[in-house]
Chains A and B, each alone.
Chain A
Amino acid sequence: MRRLQRSRSGMVGAAIVLIVIVTAVLAPLISPYSPTRLFFGQELRPPGYPHWFGTDLMGRDILSFVIWGTRSALVVAGIAVGLAMAIGTTIGLLAGYFGGRVDMLLMRLTDVILVTPILFLIILATAIFVIRAVWLTSVIIGLFTWPYVARIVRSEVLALREELFVEAARAVGGQDLRVILRHVLPNTVPCLIVTATIYVAYAILTEASLGFLGLGDPAAVTWGAMLNVGRDVLRRAPWVATIPGLLIFLTTWGFNLLGDGIRDALDVKEYHQ
């Protein structure tokens, strides 16, 4: 923690992340209007009083919309990253620890997903199952991104397995499950924290991309949904698309900065071969 405080960029990232979380929690208190309230006759108003970020095509207040949108962004991050980390860590631990056939089988499984562009796979799945709900989209994102986590964890475990303390734990008759949970897993935690932080940025960006492409829930209060609305009125009302886009950008930047800061503080290697 102290080392993270020494990293200026890491602290900027932490501050941005904190602001996003506080905004999400306090959304009902700080949002000037309901995000879905339609101001008739005030459609496409430019930023100014009383709509500080302007209004969209349907007369919704963009400031209120993006404030409530932080909640969706965090829900997406929570579900998608939680799922990807849970599956990826389990698979990575098993593959790295047991090696041999288990490793080969599990890694071929990850390859099937890894050899294709993930966004295509996610688009394919959302299209086929007609998935629009935010939480379901998040589940899909989680289900298709775990192989990356599995790869990272596996390479970490491969190195740990050779360490003396793991060998000693096994030599004294420790059962595999116990060795994995008590000795291997705790040592992958720094790497897991960094990976999770960076993946939050990825998950938020992916969900926003789907919303932007028109593959999200058009009625949901998400940044991506507003971007999709703004795309068609870019000439008349550039603020509708640029403001939520800017917030997506700042949020992903914040999480990336924080991830980098933690990486440096915990001394986790950047790229795993």
Chain B
Amino acid sequence: MPSSLLYLSRRLLVMVPLLCGIALLVFILMHLAPGDPIHIMLGGAVHVTDEVIQSIRERYGLDQPVLVQFWHWVVRLVRGDLGFSYISNQSVVDIIGARFGETLRLMLTAQVLAITLAIPMGVLAAVRHRSWADTITSGVSLFGYSMPGFWLGLVLIWVFSLTLGLVPSSGARTVGVDFATPWAVLVDQLRHMILPVTVLALNQSTFLFRLTRSSMLDVLKQDYVRTARAKGLNERVVIYRHGLRNAMLPLTTVVGLNLGYVLSGAVLVETVFAWPGIGRLTVAMALQRDYPTLMGIYMLLAVSMLVATLVTDVVYVLLDPRVKLR
């Protein structure tokens, strides 16, 4: 077997115990929960006989020993079945599936925007180290980095939506309006994306900027950069081909591993802008204590992040020939 395939299969194997650990953690958390899940399912219903409660308990397998319940849960999990919501009785996979795309759409747009914004500025700040350009961009970035996304979101809604009326303040699309052309639908959706994407992208770019700058500063001190300069290469070639290319390596790792941070930001931004994604769903389900949906979301995010880590590592190897697959 070629070494790359061997590496990939080994990496996938390592993911198995990690996923088991995560599944166990989530399961334990759920079972430590105070109160009876039956009461959550029944909501405020008062006149419920013991027989009904017993039948619900049997139906959901809640009458079985904890270890048996865990086993059943894991078996279903492997089959891609995340169970049913306590509240709406819908399949958790369906509930999550409908919203995951919306979150991805928001996140990916913001991420692309953040990268195109942050990397050139980070390079500039590093190349002109300690100049006024560096001082200003670095200062602004820490300022932006500390700014709570939800607060910026509220301020933007207040200014651009409520006061100026330029863009919609909530949702992913205008509901109840039939647009004549697909083009109009697209424009409507883009208008809804402007504010949430701005908040997410700004938040991300400040972080990426700091990283690009410090990584670039490290690289520019290296011997090979001095050699490149000594060879009489054009400064642009030195910076981009010899500098940035190497500085991109730690950046790749961080962009990949940063998914969790972006997702955490999405929870708040989606809540502020009433965006119908995973983040808003999480908060709604947390307030209603719908455990199966919460567990489903959590498992989905854990798997996405593990995959992201794997992809990051593979990309890293492709970018850096010095790193061997082991």
Contacts and interface: CB of A to CB of B under 8 A. Distances in A.
Contacts of B148: 205, 208-209, 245, 248-249, 252
Interface string B20-44: 0110011001101111000000000
B268 interface: yes
A256 B150 CA distance: 18
Nearest to A115: B305
Interface stretch (B83-91, B155-163, B172-180): B155-163
Contacts of A245: 148, 150-151, 154-155
Interface stretch (B69-77, B112-120, B192-200, B258-266): B258-266
Given A227-B150, A234-B158, A112 B142 contact: no
A115 B264 contact: no
Contacts of B215: 271
Most buried by B among A127, A257, A270: A127
Contact of B268 (A113, A121, A213, A270): A213
Interface in A110-130: 111-121, 123-130
Contacts of A256: 142, 145-146
A127 B287 contact: yes
Given A129-B32, A209-B150, A246-B151, A215 B145 contact: no
A56 interface: no
11 contacts: A112-B18, A116-B22, A117-B260, A120-B297, A124-B294, A212-B150, A212-B271, A215-B287, A227-B154, A242-B151, A242-B154
Given A121-B298, A127-B287, A128-B289, A241 B154 contact: yes
Interface of B: 17-18, 21-22, 25-26, 29-30, 32-35, 139, 142-143, 145-148, 150-151, 154-155, 157-158, 162, 210-211, 214-215, 250, 253-254, 259-261, 263-264, 267-268, 271-272, 282-283, 285-287, 289, 291, 294, 297-298, 301-302, 305-306, 309
**Interface secondary structure of B, over-half rule:** helix
A2 interface: no
Contacts of B29: 124-125, 128
A248 B236 CA distance: 41
Contacts of B145: 256
B25 A112 contact: yes
B151 A128 contact: no
Interface in A190-228: 201, 205, 208-209, 212-215, 227
Closest 9 CB pairs of A and B: A245-B151, A127-B286, A119-B264, A253-B146, A117-B260, A117-B263, A112-B21, A252-B146, A128-B33
Given A128-B32, A128-B33, A227-B154, 14 more contacts: A112-B25, A115-B306, A115-B309, A116-B298, A123-B282, A128-B29, A129-B32, A209-B268, A212-B271, A234-B154, A245-B150, A245-B151, A252-B146, A260-B142
A115 B302 contact: yes
B33 A129 contact: yes
Contact of A214 (B17, B157, B261, B287): B287
A129 B305 contact: no
B118 to A, nearest CB: 15
A260 B215 CA distance: 16
A235 interface: yes
A174 interface: no
A201 B151 CA distance: 15
A21 B35 CA distance: 39
Given A115-B306, A234-B158, A120 B267 contact: yes
Contacts of B287: 127, 214-215
A129 B287 CA distance: 11
Most buried by A among B151, B250, B294, B306: B151
A215 B283 contact: yes
Given A117-B301, A235-B162, A248 B289 contact: no
A234 to B, nearest CB: 6
B117 to A, nearest CB: 20
B145 to A, nearest CB: 7
A249 B147 contact: yes
B264 A117 contact: yes
Nearest to B31: A128
A213 B34 contact: no
B97 to A, nearest CB: 18
Contacts of A214: 283, 287
A116 B30 CA distance: 17
A238 interface: yes
Contacts of A271: 211, 214-215, 250, 254
A212 B268 contact: yes
Interface in A74-119: 108-109, 111-119
Contacts of B35: 130
B246 to A, nearest CB: 14
B286 A130 contact: no
Nearest to B213: A270
A273 interface: yes
